[in-house]
Amino acid sequence: MFTGIIEGLGVIAGIRPSGAGKRLIVASDFDLAGTKVGDSIAVSGACLTAVRLAGRRFEVDVSPETLAKTTLGAARVGQRMNLERALRLSDRIDGHLVSGHIDGTGAIDGRETAGNAVVIAVAVPAALTRYMIVKGSVAVDGISLTINTLEPGRFTVSIIPHTAGMTAIGLKRTGEPVNIETDMIGKYVEKFLSAKQEHPGPPSQGVSMELLAKAGYIK
């Protein structure tokens, strides 16, 4: 699990085939002390496993599924990537709970200045906006952001100077692809509700004194 609060940037220093997938070599701009082989690192929002570490460089294998579902399929040497190591149970959750399992990709659809912020519009498949709400959370290239406006197939977010400086979002131009992960709560709620409609249980009789007594709450 991650928080969507980016630790720093990395640069893809190398790409080579790895079976049907690829192996990425990433050079981080921050100290990786404490990170070990097997740890999860979100690379522009995609949860990957470190398979080799050397100083500030790490290597990750990217499966064919991840290459097909994320922007990593078009990754190139020299590209800047957002990096976040996995959440520890003792950490503050400053963003929102992010799984690192990308739901799909979108593209930067426009940007305009609003005071000290930049409002960025992102075009996505309409199916993804189904799991979004205004003032809800979304992860764009792994960055935890708040949705300002929303319509089918498009949403906007505000990027403050700190976020623009600490992440690669400030470098994105109109038309460039981004990874999208919607808030997992909406997906779980939809799954529970659809399962209930497909397999309805016995009608609920509500809470009664008899039910509370049977459960041991009252005598």
Q: 144-182, pLDDT tens digit by residue?
A: 999 999 999 999 999 999 999 999 998 999 999 999 999
Q: Cβ distance 108 to 121 under 8 Å?
A: yes
Kind plus residue range of the DSSP H or E element containing 131: none
Most confident by average pLDDT, 112-121, 192-201, 204-213: 112-121
Is the confidence at residue 204, as pLDDT, over 80? no
pLDDT value for 217 = 62
pLDDT value for 200 = 66
Instruction: Annotate 8-77 with DSSP letters as a single string.
Output: EEEEEEEEEEETTEEEEEEEESS--TT--TT-EEEETTEEEEEEEEETTEEEEEE-HHHHHHSGGGG--T
Is the confidence at residue 99, as pLDDT, over 70? yes
Please tell me whether residue 136 adopts helix, strand or coil conformation: coil
Is the confidence at residue 202, as pLDDT, over 70? no
Measured CA to CA, the distance from residue 3 to residue 152 in angstroms comes to 26
